[in-house]
């Protein structure tokens, strides 16, 4: 049943996942997401290695947020470089940052955009160090602001899909922490709340690193959105009981045919949705599409350390030496996806043709 509240409560300010402090001689400040929800602490990044490590260890995570952090990281890397101030130096810094994580294509998109811009700048004339750093910072800020706008637009398009829906399931964290502001999947829920809708969100905890429990549940709680945390293994039961009528998740890379990589466990959610005839939606900005690859088979899947599976918060939960498989992402085939919500609208049905038309 739709519930309309004519005078919704004012919503709290959105989470500021990261911000650049000051001039190009300043630094990047970002929330250390590994500390949430018990501690809201920030990391100050004064050099590119700190940004690289923050991405690698998931202090900053989520496809768009990784891209934005890396863009600011380029300013730091070029600033500390001893090489000449030219496009080759920019490229080297981008190459380094590109080694931090392999799956989310937004990272490579942002770094390629910066490489292309610096080629253009240096093609017309030589730049002194101060001018180059200022331009790099402006570019990073533009990437940051554009992501903010895209997230808002995703929310506006996505909310139209939730008519007659009271319960929705999400997996991992595709919220403000993972982006510039409103998130992708969570932007749909935040926008629904802004419109006075009363949604109930079921949150998969998202083993092994608990992004759902630690981050999504926290974000929803911050905004007083009704949220119920479940273990990943409970999703099918929640669907069978009719508690959710749709699932919306984010994405790390979407191939030209619509196959979508997202946090490990997403594929299972999509299969459960199909079994229960519930629509499974992906919410992602155009920067998450990789139209250079034909299908999900070409998406590189990050493999992470065994101890993420064998221990929980420093406590060993499996026998020492046990064999472990720990892919950080899986690929959901396009045929299981009811629609992809982008900043331009909703791709529905999902196919190579509809995606090509969407971006034509
Ligand atoms: O390993 P993570 O936490 O970076 O994985 C994040 C996800 O899988 C998100 O769902 C995805 O990046 C979309 S964020 C808007």
CATH number at residue 205: 3.40.50.10470
Q: How far apart are CA 331 and CA 316, in angstroms?
A: 29
Q: Which of 298, 285, 304 is nearest to 259 (CA)?
A: 298
324 in the same domain as 193: yes
For residue 83, the model assigns a pLDDT of: 86
Q: Point out the domain boundary residue: 151, 176, 194.
A: 151
For residue 3, the model assigns a pLDDT of: 42
Coil vs helix vs strand at 157: helix
Cβ neighbors of 46 (< 8 A, separation 6 or more) are 27, 76
Probe target for ligand 1 pocket from 15, 30, 31, 178, with the most ligand atoms within 8 Å of CB: 178
Task: Quickly list DSSP for 212-281.
Answer: IIIIIHHHHHHTT-EEEEE-GGGHHHHHHTTS-SEEEE--SEEETT--EEEETTHHHHHHHHHHTT--EE
What are the structure tokens assigned to 168, written together?
A: 């929705």
Q: How far apart are CA 357 and CA 340, in angstroms?
A: 13
Considering 204, 252, 259, 290, which one is annotated as catalytic? 252
Q: How far apart are CA 281 and CA 89, in angstroms?
A: 41
304 in the same domain as 170: yes
Q: What is the mean pLDDT of residues 305-319?
A: 94
- Tell whether 10 is covered by a domain: no
CA 315 to ligand 1 center in whole angstroms: 25
Q: With cut-offs at 50, 70 and 90, classify the pLDDT of residue 4.
A: very low
Assess whether the C-beta atom of 33 lies below 6 angstroms from ligand 1. Answer: no
What's the domain range around 32? 18-151
77 in the same domain as 51: yes
For residue 313, the model assigns a pLDDT of: 79
Assess whether the C-beta atom of 107 lies below 6 angstroms from ligand 1. Answer: no
The reported pTM is: 0.95
Q: How far apart are CA 240 and CA 88, in angstroms?
A: 56
Q: With cut-offs at 50, 70 and 90, classify the pLDDT of residue 10.
A: low
Active site residue 252: yes
Assess whether the C-beta atom of 101 lies below 6 angstroms from ligand 1. Answer: no
- Return the ligand 1 atom nearest residue 63 CA: 12
Assess whether the C-beta atom of 62 lies below 6 angstroms from ligand 1. Answer: yes
Q: How far apart are CA 141 and CA 165, in angstroms?
A: 36
Tally of domains within the chain: 2
Q: Point out the domain boundary residue: 151, 184, 202.
A: 151
pLDDT in tens, 88-116: 999 999 999 999 999 999 999 999 999 99
């Amino acid at each position: 049943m739709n519930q309309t509240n004519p005078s919704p409560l004012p919503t709290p300010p959105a989470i500021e996942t990261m911000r650049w402090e000051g001039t190009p001689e300043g630094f990047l400040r970002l929330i250390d997401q590994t500390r949430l929800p018990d501690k809201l602490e920030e990391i100050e990044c004064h050099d590119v290695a700190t940004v690289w490590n923050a991405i690698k260890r998931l202090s900053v995570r989520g496809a768009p947020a990784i891209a934005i952090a890396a863009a600011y990281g380029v300013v730091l890397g070029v600033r500390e470089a001893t090489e000449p101030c030219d496009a080759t130096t920019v490229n080297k810094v981008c190459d380094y940052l590109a080694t931090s994580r392999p799956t989310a294509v937004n990272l490579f998109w942002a770094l390629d955009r910066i490489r292309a811009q610096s080629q253009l700048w240096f093609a017309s004339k030589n730049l002194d160090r101060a001018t180059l750093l200022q331009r790099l910072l402006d570019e990073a800020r533009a990437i940051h602001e554009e992501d903010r706008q895209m997230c808002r637009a995703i929310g506006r398009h996505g909310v139209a899909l939730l008519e007659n829906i009271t319960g929705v399931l999400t997996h991992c964290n595709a919220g403000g922490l993972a982006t510039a502001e409103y998130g992708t999947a969570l932007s749909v829920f935040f926008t629904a709340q802004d419109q006075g809708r009363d949604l109930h969100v079921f949150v998969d905890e998202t083993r092994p690193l608990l992004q759902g429990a630690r981050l999504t549940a926290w974000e929803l709680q911050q905004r007083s959105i009704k949220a119920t945390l479940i273990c990943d293994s409970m999703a099918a039961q929640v669907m069978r009981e009719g508690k959710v009528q749709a699932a919306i998740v984010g994405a790390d890379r979407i191939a030209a045919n619509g196959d979508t990589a997202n946090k490990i466990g997403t594929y299972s959610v999509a299969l459960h949705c199909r079994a229960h005839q519930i629509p499974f939606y992906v919410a992602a900005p155009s920067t998450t599409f990789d139209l250079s690859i034909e299908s999900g088979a070409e998406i590189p899947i990050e493999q992470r350390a065994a101890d993420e599976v064998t221990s929980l918060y420093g406590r060993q939960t499996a026998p020492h030496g046990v064999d472990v498989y720990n892919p950080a992402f899986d690929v959901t085939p396009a045929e299981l996806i009811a629609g992809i919500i982008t900043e331009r609208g909703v791709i529905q049905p999902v196919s190579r043709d509809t995606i090509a038309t969407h971006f034509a």
